[in-house]
Structure 1
Amino acid sequence: MIPSSRLIARRRAIAASGATAGATAALALALAACGSSSGSSSMPGMDHGSTSSAASSSSASPSMGDMPGKDHMASGNGLSDSQDGYRLTSKDTTLPSGKPAAYRFAVTGPDGKPVTEFAVDQTKRMHFYAIRSDLTGFQHIHPTMAADGTWSADLSALAPGSWRVFASFTPNTGTGRGEDFVLSRAVTVPGNAAKTPLPAPATSTEADGYTLTVKGEPMAGMAHPLTVSITREGKPVTDLEPYLDTYAHLTAFHEGDAAFAHLHPTTKVTGDNGGPDLSFHAELPTSGNWRLFLQFQTGGKLHTAALTLRVG
């Protein structure tokens, strides 16, 4: 169920646990991410903007393997608007407060021209995220692209404050063909910005009547297994539906700089019977508190749960 990066771009975190001596698999931090969200949670840390959804089309300044869900490897944390000649550009430096708004942007290549051909990643050609500086208001959207390469991400109402928006993509042509990128830009929402304290680290949280329990103690820069168990009214949930080719989409943001990491479950998708346990390979590069947003689907509805994880 946050400098740019190559795989943060495709938003995939794929690292291998070092269970066997001499075998260390890389877990990719994937930023950007995937996922359109039609549901939202009222839990702390998500009250400044609900997750939005938008149809997918075919084909700045910094601030703030083949296993299921596996993405291309990359490095970085998504906190830059440029990488290897590719740049995230936008005229939008501010967005209105309290009402839906469209953020328009383009990705230019090393030749300075807008990129219009993108590879499909987890059923989408572009994954877009928005997060406020206090790690509230999480939104995960699939924007649409016009013929000239201009993308439009339809955001739900934003609360005043400093925000960062991330674009995760893979060019399908040019020097960056097949490479994963995650680029970001800062945007301001005018108004009286009241900071929401980050909820304390915990091992469980609730969303839409579901209880999610996280097991695992990740250490900075090291691959560790992470398990998320989902129950409802005390009973194991076994009807998780595939969402973006996985049973859950997990995104993490680092407290303080909003660095981005994207982790995918390694649990094999076999139909509409996922759960109750979802396994992840987690490799978070920096110690401190990370705010995790896990998205999963049941009965055709997308749920989003949030939890603060302490990384030593």
Structure 2
Amino acid sequence: MVIAVSLGSEVANAQLLSMGLNAKQIYFAEQQREKYGKRVRYYLSNCLCGLMAWQDKNQSSHIIERDADLIEFVYDRLADDRSRDIFVSRIALCLVGESYGALNEFLDEYSDTVIENTKKFGLSWSSPMAETEYKYYFNQDFIEYNDNEVFVDVGAENGNTVIPFIEHLYQKNLKPKHIYAFEPDPDTFRFLKQNVGGVEYVSVENSGVGSKNGELRFRKSSMFGAYRYCGHISPDGDISVNIHTIDSYFIDTPVSFLKFDPSGDAIIAGLEGASGIISQRKPKIIAGAYHQIENLYRIPKMLLELDSNYRVYLRHLAFHANETHAFAIPA
């Protein structure tokens, strides 16, 4: 039995200990609350919303067994040992089911956010100065930058990766040549426009990206308490949104960096619609590999198929189970 509560964990912890359980059997005790931040509701809302790790473990086991050859193919072609370790451990995390103990161990070992903030703030890295996961999209040691970066952010949300990209380049005394931010959700787009729409070299688009131009139904974002969860393409969506392909939108634009992190299968569709730009321009690519268990290996495989010379890395960016990303770097 795993008991997780956001309030009153001290009382629950004491009761469980008095019943004869030991500390190792209580996976969300006060010490772990302190370790992963006191904003427990934020932590839990992230963990409980769309987790690849929390899918039915019997279903996950079937998927992994079915795709064993593909998994081995991708494992052998990942660019470094850390990527291969994350790959195996992330699959293992899916197979154990809903275990905060296993999740905590994974984060200790592989989360960029947890590792760096623990070094800075110790066990109490809930400090207001703690870094968020968004900066880790761009400060990976295998990515190089220059003054001609044309960055395309697909699934830009409220600008939470556009702003860290600008900041990271400025820290290197560089300035982006231009940034294009796509966000189809009209509610979220208002925040995007408000946050970065006034920057001279940033263009914001209230539209999505896919495998072909047209319109698709879209389910708008929703709120869970104080937290907003982004919308997604859905046949029974609330509204219709415009969809562009990267290839058609950027015919004469020297794109150097693509980031894909919308929900569901939109990443696969977006990469399909960017195949021409990718083969011609060889941009750096970041793609979310966590929305479904298969994406952990389907996304790297697709990146390698688009250009076999890419070096593909995996990194886990956040202090929760989401945000495992594939990075494709041109040779």
Does the pair score TM above 0.5?
no
TM-score (norm 1): 0.25
Larger Rg: 2
The structure in which a higher percent of residues are helix is 2
- TM-score (normalizing by structure 2): 0.24
Structure number with the bigger relative contact order (C-alpha 8 A, sep ≥ 6) is: 1
